[in-house]
A and B are shown apart, each in its own frame.
Chain A
Amino acid sequence: MDGIDLDIAPGERVALLGPNGAGKTTLMLHLNGVLTASEGTIEIGGTALSRNTLRDIRRRVGLMFQDPDDQLFMPTLAQDVAFGPANFGVQGAELEARVARALAVVSMAELATRSPAHMSGGQRRRAALATVLACEPDVLVLDEPSANLDPVARRELAQTLLDLDATMLIVTHDLPYAAQLCDRAIVMDGGVIVADGSVADVLSDAELLADHRLELPWGFTVHS
């Protein structure tokens, strides 16, 4: 990656688009310091990412990974949701309240004592979202949130996401989903940013999309 210069305002919902291997996931892993850049800085809400602020940044930036199975590793859903806040020092009644709130947001309170291993794809995706929401992040970074979801699960997830106040960066190939959820779109290819504008402008620019192996599914058009 080179010369990435990106400024996202609080509360903005931004889609990060680009073909496979464009560097989207790599950029995402830089945002909470799991990967560190050889040059340049990352600032979240005025705090620069450094060794000292790592813990604080990881609390404020929640990453949801592409495969929910990577993110759900405890015996029960409630324990999985509690894992993040417990690491950040939340305990006792406050921890239980956090877990209950996060599960309520994704409408999964009644599954708290079940093992994530036995949930459907859509449930697992929402469970993974709950594990991140329980940390109460300011910024949510979602990697391909709509991948492998059936149409209903996809719509339900979109509704949940639209109800959240957090700043959102959605990494996706799913252009209609980006159009539905985001106001702004960024196109990345070969490790650099090649376009940045309103979602409608970017998605209606057929030439730009074609240059970067992106295209709207059959039957879709976006008007700027």
Chain B
Amino acid sequence: MGGGHAHPLYRDGDSPVHRLPAEVKIVGLVLFVLAVVATPRELFWPFGIYALILIATWWVARIPLLWMLPRMLIEAPFVVLALLLPFAEGGERVGVAGLQLSVSGLYAAWGIVIKGTLGVAASLTVASTTTARELPVALSRLRVPAVFVSVLTLMIRYIDVLTAEARRMRKARISLVGSPLMLHQGGATAKGVGSLFLRSYERGERVYLAMLSRGFDGRVPQLAVGAGCAAPASARQWLLALLPASAAVLVAAGSWVLR
């Protein structure tokens, strides 16, 4: 995939992290996130170490901090809720800059923000070094059932087609009625969503007919042509790729022992 066409979360490159087969990155990501989530939120130091692990990974993957940080804003809507907690929660109170804040609420907010941020950062690390077309092969190597893999494959393929269709409909609407953000056009927007659903549904049927016509019988065939996909991971690659995740698991275990 050329850089210009790729997903905005993908950063073209040839670092050791980019070259790793996607399945090890997925396993590493899941382990890392589990370790972060399992860490008690009353402690602060383990989260600092997690952040260092991620920054080290970015350094190896040659992803600049300034590229990563703006993309982490996806998280913002979820953090808003966490900011309310210190005000909403009950229990012991503490005065901060003239505000009376709940102590348990502060801990809860901290826990959500830091664990969320680390989770998003770790996911972005995988997303920025893995192309979408590697995912289906990786998931089937991880023994994910074929039905899920084919649903995912079709989703990856058609999300662009649907976005393009939605964009065309939006343009058509704007050229008819002006700004789509105005309230009285809510009805038109809602109808647009409805007809997009119908069009997608019809497309789904046509794709299915096209698949039937080429001998599809419900099973996605094993394609020998894994064009553009890395070979299955070797033992050494597994070991290397799981280093950050294993470090995180050690930190999580340590935090429970030392607390």
Contact = CB atoms under 8 A, between A and B. Distances in A.
A74 B221 contact: no
A67 B157 contact: no
Centre residue among A59, A70, A96 by max chain B CB count within 10 A: A70
B1 interface: yes
Interface in B203-227: 203, 206-207, 209-217, 221-227
Interface string B128-170: 0000110010000000000000000110111011000000000
A78 B221 contact: no
B2 interface: yes
B228 interface: yes
A82 B223 contact: yes
A87 interface: yes
Contacts of B214: 58, 62, 83-84, 87, 131-132, 135
A39 to B, nearest CB: 22
B213 A58 contact: yes
A86 interface: yes
A213 interface: no
B206 A70 contact: yes
A73 B228 contact: no
Interface string B220-243: 011111111000000000000000
Given A70-B210, A73-B154, A83-B214, A96 B161 contact: no
A92 B228 CA distance: 16
A82 B215 CA distance: 12
A87 B215 contact: yes
A65 B1 contact: no
Interface of B: 1-2, 5, 132-133, 136, 153-154, 156-158, 160-161, 203, 206-207, 209-217, 221-228
Q: Which 5 A-B pairs have the closest CB atoms?
A: A87-B215, A75-B133, A86-B221, A84-B214, A78-B227
Interface of A: 29, 32, 34, 55, 58-59, 62-63, 65, 67, 69-79, 81-84, 86-88, 91-92, 95-96, 99, 112-118, 131-132, 135
